[in-house]
Every structure is written in structure tokens, then in C-alpha cells.
Amino acid sequence: MNDQQLLRYSRHILLDEIDIDGQEKILAAHALIIGAGGLGSPAALYLASAGVGTITLVDNDTVDLTNLQRQIMHTSERVGLAKVESGKTALSQINPDIKVITVAERADAERLEALIREADVVLDCSDNFATRHAINRACVKHRVPLVSGAAIQFDGQISVFDPSKGNSPCYACLFAPDQEFEEIQCSTMGVFAPLVGIIGSMQAAEALKLIAGIGISLAGQLLILDARTMEWTRIKAARDATCPVCNGH
């Protein structure tokens, strides 16, 4: 690290668990963020400010006025712009030393595999089950840790799925691919603005812990937040021996 980096990241370096070695791991890391909206915004902003060397943003949407109530990476001036380009502008303003790669498309399974293969950690900030399961399959295949978050109305959840740990469940162990789920969209049900900030920030924290090799991740645990009461529920998640995705990996 040069003198400017030592100064920029000094508050991380002061932490014994991170120190210079941990910060160098962060600088060398590649984080893939799928979804540049409510969850992806705080997650990306914190990863950029923390110095994650390469951040890839994947989203096929454009900034809309209705997004600005919660998607803090975007601004009124960038309404109509692709979210990944708006995000790149925001991240570059916070930390011009990092590399931001933009993928302005709804990535299919093949594209996700190619992107995930190159990443050190994946943050699922998407909003539909089909994408979540495609991300999970690719993460299991390429043994890349996945930090998954979700938020709707006043309810949020977060977990980590780490294929490098033999006893860690994958996303499909908790939410079976063939199970019927009702897709609930923010556009029809609404979402409490700070909720996505809480969950997205926690996704960034879990990703940084995985990158730096510190602390204990949420692998094998599902945290659920009721923002009406600010009560957390912690559920232990076991690996499903019959899971069609991770069984045998």
C-alpha cells in the first residue's frame, strides 16, 4: 500500500483482526454484486469505501424516480440512466482507486457462471427466486461464497452460503428450487427505506469478513429482521442431504 492508501484505510488497519494484511486482501479482492437497487446500493458503497479492489455490478434496470426513496447509490440527476452506470459514478466518487465493472443486462445462467467464476465473493441483491437459484447453482459449482439478502415491506433476511465449508447448506437447502413461492415486488407491496440499508450493509460486512478471513460468518444461519419491532430471529440452517444442488459437493 502507498501512503494515501495507508491513510484512507487507517481505521481498518487499526483493527487487530484486519491490520495491513487483511486490508491488502480487501484491496486484492473481486466482489460481484448482482442487483444495483435497494440492497446493492449500501452493499456496493461500503465495499467501495472499504477498498475492495474490483467490484462488478450486474443489473439491467434504469434509475427511476420511485427508486430514490431507498436506493441510495442513485440520485435525481441520474434518473433514466442505467443503474450500473449510475452506480459506477457513485462508487468512483467515493473511491477513485478501485475498478468498477458494469454489466447492464439480466444475466442468464451461463452469464452468471462466467461472472461468478472470476469472483472471490458474490452478493445476491436480486429480487426474484429464479435469479437467486441460478446464482446459488453457479456459486456451488465454482465454490464461491454467497452472501444472500432480501427485504420486502418491513421484513428482511440475510445468510451466507459457503461451499468451501463441507457442512454449510446452500440456498437451495433452505428454499427448494421446485417449491412454489409467491414473487412479491416492492412496486406492489412497498418496502421500508432503512430496511434495505440495514440488510445491504450487513451483506457488505459479511463479504468483507469472508475476504479478510476474520470473525465467524453467517454460514449455517438465517437471520430474519422484523423492522416494526427491530427484533431479530436467528435460525440454524442445516445442509439437506437430498439437495439437488449441493449434494455431493
Question: Tell me, what CATH number does 154's domain have?
Answer: 3.40.50.720
What nine digits make up the cell of 58?
A: 450486474
How confident is the model at residue 186, as a pLDDT? 58
Task: Classify residue 206: in a domain, yes or no.
Answer: yes
* Ranges of the chain with pLDDT below 70: 180-188, 248-249
Range of the domain at 57: 3-236
Exposed, middle or buried by CB within 10 Å (0-12, 13-18, 19+), for 4? exposed
Active site residue 186: yes
How confident is the model at residue 4, as a pLDDT? 95
Find out whether 140 and 163 touch, Cβ atoms under 8 Å. Answer: yes
How confident is the model at residue 161, as a pLDDT? 97
How confident is the model at residue 185, as a pLDDT? 59
Task: Classify residue 7: in a domain, yes or no.
Answer: yes
Task: Classify residue 249: in a domain, yes or no.
Answer: no
Buried b (16+ CB within 10 A) or exposed e, 160-191: bbbbeeeebbbbbbbebbeeeeeebebeeeeb
pLDDT tens-digit map of 178-188? 876 665 555 56
Whole-angstrom distance, CA of residue 112 vs CA of residue 58 = 10
What nine digits make up the cell of 208?
A: 468483507
How confident is the model at residue 187, as a pLDDT? 58
Task: Find the catalytic residue in 139, 186, 243, 246.
Answer: 186
pTM of the model: 0.94
How confident is the model at residue 195, as a pLDDT? 98
Task: Classify residue 211: in a domain, yes or no.
Answer: yes
pLDDT tens-digit map of 81-98? 999 999 999 999 999 999
